[in-house]
Copies of this chain bind each other. A is one copy, B any other.
Amino acid sequence: MVRVDLSGAAAFFDPAGPDYAAAAKAHRDLVDGTGAGSEFTGWLNLPARIKDGELKSILAAAQKIRSRSKALVVIGIGGSYLGAKGAIELLRPVPSEDDPMILFAGNGLSPDALTDIIEKLGDRDFDVNVISKSGTTLEPAIAFRVFRKLLRDKYGAAAKKHIFATTDSAKGVLKSMADAEGWECFVVPDDVGGRYSVLSAVGLLPMAVAGIDVKAVVNRAIEELKALDLRSPENPAWQYAAARQHLYGRGRGIEILACYEPSFRFMAEWWKQLYGESEGKNGIGIYPASVELTADLHSMGQYIQDGPRTLIETVVSFDKPRHAFPLPFEMGDPDGLNYLAGKDLGDICATAAEAVKSAHISGGVPNIVISVPSRDEAGFAALVCFFEVACAISGYMSGVNPFDQPGVEAYKKNMFRLLGKPGT
């Protein structure tokens, strides 16, 4: 399990402290299915189901793609791409020679961005993984039409063998198209919302194609979810959920997720969706933001230290870097850094993190540290399960349904009307 350290937040708590009784109730509601939106809590046993289900097909499809193609175009938006993109950047920041290029399309409407993706793709052999529960979401639907045409132009009748559809198991436009054309299909489970779907085929197929050991991810996730069922204030998910709700009640309206690994950048985007979409409703919710450290100490650092005292800083910390990197000694010490020569950069980074933590606490920013053993498949799985469970508990504690997203419809209705979609 990940470890949560609240010592840097304690000075900002009321004497009563975080409400673990409320966390316990929220956890019960989640597990017993007595909370709002309980029809979307299938992610609680998703890794176990997929292991006994389609994991083999996912691995086989990934192997097929890796062996014949130099690129995979992943078409999806929101929960249909953020998790996989976050995982791939975190775990495979530099692709190996054998890894197909992973291109994410259909997550916007910019003609320039789509043109750029097609240019990057070049004349590589490629496959497409289209990910959409319904098939009617505009952005991926448009991109998918474009790439279907590119596939037909390139492969003719064999194009259909290059399409993998991750969609509803039975209904919807995309499923109908897949059945009619004979595309290989994977399932977006009915009881799992988009932002909780990274450990389904939605996330696992692109991750596997990128060279991530998704079997290790799934195995570890099964263990983590078991461990996170702990009903006690020792549960890190209770700690995180209860602490942030407590701080929110004391005027802390913005949470900054920070990490000292630049490869974490897109995991923070995944986290923003998870928390922002789950909790931001009914006029309440902590605003989820992120910084990359130490880079952003030289940009947002000033605000964090001296701006309004409305922030919570949550640091995701990996216990061990992947690589040793001792700082070289240099004759003559022209830059005055020889006092660090021979020290490992990882240790210097850890020291900097300590210094930042104490500076920010002194400056009036409560600090939560989430420690993950390693930046690998196990660490990724642990982090995902932790954040998902904690988010559901936190959402219930705040009184919202953490599994719906009624506000997402407003612009869509406007848009389809303005575009003249038949029937609007």
Contacts and interface: CB of A to CB of B under 8 A. Distances in A.
Given A116-B94, A145-B337, A418-B355, A111 B346 contact: yes
Interface in A210-262: 253-254, 260-262
A347 to B, nearest CB: 9
Interface in A166-187: 173-174, 176-177, 180
Contacts of A253: 253, 308, 310
A340 B360 CA distance: 51
Contact of A262 (B113, B305, B415): B113
A262 to B, nearest CB: 5
Contacts of A282: 306
Given A287-B289, A349-B111, A339 B422 contact: yes
A283 interface: yes
A358 interface: yes
A292 interface: yes
Nearest to A174: B335
B260 A408 contact: no
A269 interface: yes
A146 interface: yes
A279 B299 CA distance: 11
Nearest to A277: B302
A261 B344 CA distance: 39
A362 interface: yes
A345 B116 CA distance: 14
Contacts of A52: none
A8 interface: no
26 contacts: A78-B299, A108-B294, A109-B349, A113-B262, A135-B335, A138-B348, A139-B295, A142-B327, A148-B330, A173-B334, A176-B334, A253-B308, A254-B254, A272-B300, A273-B296, A276-B302, A277-B299, A280-B303, A281-B302, A285-B307, A305-B407, A352-B415, A354-B418, A355-B414, A355-B418, A363-B410
Given A299-B78, A359-B414, A411-B355, A261 B112 contact: yes
Interface in A25-47: none
Interface stretch (A10-18, A57-65, A318-326, A381-389): A318-326
A399 interface: no
Given A254-B287, A302-B407, 11 more contacts: A108-B292, A173-B336, A174-B335, A269-B299, A273-B300, A277-B301, A288-B303, A301-B405, A305-B407, A305-B411, A355-B418
Interface in A303-317: 303-311
A195 interface: yes
A168 to B, nearest CB: 15
Interface of A: 77-79, 82, 93-94, 107-116, 119-120, 135-139, 141-142, 144-146, 148-149, 173-174, 176-177, 180, 194-195, 253-254, 260-263, 269, 272-273, 276-277, 279-285, 287-289, 292-311, 321-325, 327-328, 330, 334-337, 339-340, 344-346, 348-349, 351-352, 354-356, 358-360, 362-363, 375, 405-408, 410-415, 417-422
Contact of A302 (B146, B311, B405): B405
Contacts of A284: 307-308
A298 B78 contact: yes
Nearest to A419: B351
B340 A142 contact: yes
Given A283-B308, A362-B410, A109 B272 contact: no
A352 B173 CA distance: 22
Contacts of A334: 173, 176-177, 180
A79 to B, nearest CB: 7
A105 to B, nearest CB: 11
B306 A336 contact: no
A348 B142 contact: yes
